């Protein structure tokens, strides 16, 4: 889903997001998600947090609004442990899908 360009929403605080997040993710803290859901583009959404607990709450809340949503099990910790791109700072960062595909094909 990440490589397909689906929206990734990190539901952690801005400080946690800046410390390291999935490349290309946008930051909408869980407490703001219900209010800002209308700002999100159409399509399915993947929510993420540090370990997957808050992101599951976020995905559930989005599903209640009729949106197709998923939670990244294990969060950014599992994402990084699997060798996927993590960036720091307040900006979403760039998805580098081509290099990720190459790494996956080498396995």
pLDDT tens digits along 23-52: 999 999 999 999 999 999 999 999 999 999
Domain count along the chain: 1
Structural domain that includes position 53: 7-106
The answer to whether the Cα torsion of 67, 59, 9, 33 is positive or negative is: positive
Q: What's the pLDDT score for residue 5?
A: 85
| Domain contains 2 | no
pLDDT tens digits along 51-107: 999 999 999 999 999 999 999 999 999 999 999 989 999 877 665 544 444 444 444
Q: Which residues are catalytic?
A: 49
| Domain contains 79 | yes
| Domain contains 1 | no
Angle at 56 between CA 49 and CA 40, to 5 degrees: 75
Kindly report the CATH number assigned to the domain that includes residue 52. Answer: 3.40.250.10
55: its two tokens: 């992101």
| Domain contains 20 | yes
| Domain contains 76 | yes
């Amino acid at each position: 889903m990440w490589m397909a360009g689906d929206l990734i929403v990190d539901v952690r605080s801005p400080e946690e997001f800046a410390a390291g997040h999935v490349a290309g993710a946008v930051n909408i803290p869980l407490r703001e998600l219900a209010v800002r859901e209308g700002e999100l583009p159409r399509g399915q959404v993947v929510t993420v947090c540090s370990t997957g607990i808050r992101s599951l709450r976020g995905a559930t809340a989005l599903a209640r609004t009729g949106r197709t949503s998923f939670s990244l099990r294990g969060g950014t910790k599992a994402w990084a442990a699997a060798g996927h791109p993590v960036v720091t700072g307040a900006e979403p960062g760039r998805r580098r899908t081509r290099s990720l595909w190459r790494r996956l094909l080498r396995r």
